[in-house]
Chain A
Amino acid sequence: MMRVWGTAQDGIGTNRREGETLDERFDAASSGDRRALARLLSSIENGELKVEEPQRKDSDWNILALTGPPGVGKSCLLDRMLHEWVDHGLHIAVLAVDPSSPRSGGALLGDRVRMRIVDDAERKESVYVRSVATRKTSGSVPLVVREMAFCLLHVGWDKVVIETVGAGQSEVRCAAVADRIVLVEGPARGDGVQAEKAGLLELADAVIVNKSDLDGAQRHADELRESLHLGHEDAPDVLLVSALYGTGVAEASSMLLTLEQSTRAGRARWRERLLSHHERQLLEHPKFDTLLSSIEEGLMSFDDAYAQLRNGNE
């Protein structure tokens, strides 16, 4: 029996679905019923269900975060790598995160369009792609995605790849959800000094420079390598690929499968996990929206509102 449990009110049967119990849904998802799996993931996303971390079978990674700036080709590259991994015999789930509008709360989730493998008759059974919105959380990936990944591992998927929102230099939140971090970069992303800057680059377990077919990719890869090797003995590999033409993809895919965790990021990972957890606690406070309105309307001071939010969680 998997270590999954529902919260006080069992919300599973309430959202317009027929009355299926949690255990039934879990068993169905474990035996390959994707509808049941999709519903389980929704329950987790909606905060109706919590999932514990599964027992790891080996030291290899189970959850990998693919992150990097917008437009560098994360989705296209992932699609290519999924083909390789599936041909290697793996069953891989993808949680593709896109941002929610801070104004309306809505989202347009567009990564799936680029995952052409879901239309590939011979491979689609080995791949599950789920689009996820950031909802209220800040940063490039919400913490709840970690539990969604746990659920996917529980029901039998070999590995989970989290594709983050297009992330900037300081977006290190993905360290909170994944075992390994792969940073995807593009060509000509500024001069050599950009590669020296602190941030995401320091936490990456591997760096992939995509669009090797374009000018500047090789140079950018060289600059990154040089920068990474300057300060650390345990520098991550920098690979050059073209997701468009497939150049270097087989090598990158095979390297990523056995990617070791860099020793440089241990403390930072826990830091990000603590911070995301704290943010989630605040966001899940029942009075969060009310307090927010009170501050906005000048009915309550910021400090008082924050104190209430914190007290509510103790």
Chain B
Amino acid sequence: MDQPLRIIIAKPGLDGHDRGAKVVARALRDAGHEVIYTGLRRTPEQIIETVRDEDATLLGLSSLSGAHGHLFPRICETLREHDMGDVIVFGGGIIPEDDWPPLFEAGVRALFGPGTTSEEMVEFIATAVKRDDAGVGHGAGWHWNQSA
């Protein structure tokens, strides 16, 4: 097997619910990846510094508070501003499908809601890292979910 991928699982904003994030972190660990969980209530800047210092290939954002429409694009934009356009961003939590298009537009590559299997997430990651247009720097374009 190749080297494990380094993945940050982050909880941006004032959202205190991290059961989902921990389950995802665990599932990705069991799939052979190296996962770093940031803990609760991180600012976009803190998250980006973690991605930078830990040399993560992927960033998973979890939000159940409804602030995804503000926080996810801001994080994508800050990554690009800091020359980290090769980082692949995905999200999960409670994110209504109506909110998906602007997030994909911002560079998020996949959104996973309740009921997602860990196999699907693992498959997304395997697919995304093989593409050369999956980094957040490529802006809108390819994304995993078909229905939006």
B-binding residues in A (CB < 8 A): 16-18, 34-35, 38-39, 41-42, 45-46, 100-101, 104-110, 112-113, 118-119, 124, 128-131, 133, 135
Contact = CB atoms under 8 A, between A and B. Distances in A.
Contact of A108 (B35, B39, B53): B35
B39 A41 contact: no
B31 interface: yes
Contacts of A118: 46, 49-50, 53
The secondary structure that dominates the A interface is: mixed
A16 B85 CA distance: 11
A108 B37 contact: yes
Given A16-B57, A16-B86, A16-B129, A106 B29 contact: yes
B53 A34 contact: yes
B85 to A, nearest CB: 9
Contact of A119 (B33, B46, B53, B132): B46
Interface string B100-111: 000000000000
A39 B3 contact: no
B54 A112 contact: yes
Contacts, number: 82
Contacts of B136: none
Interface in B58-102: 82-84, 86
Contacts of A124: 49
A168 to B, nearest CB: 22
Interface in B1-46: 1, 3-4, 6, 25-26, 28-39, 46
Contact of B36 (A35, A100, A109): A109
Contact of B32 (A17, A106, A109): A106
A41 B55 contact: yes
B52 interface: yes
B34 A113 contact: no
A107 B4 contact: yes
A101 B135 contact: no
28 contacts: A16-B86, A17-B86, A18-B86, A34-B53, A35-B83, A38-B55, A42-B55, A45-B3, A100-B4, A104-B32, A105-B1, A105-B4, A106-B29, A106-B30, A106-B34, A108-B26, A108-B35, A110-B36, A110-B37, A112-B38, A112-B54, A113-B37, A118-B46, A119-B46, A129-B53, A130-B54, A131-B54, A133-B34
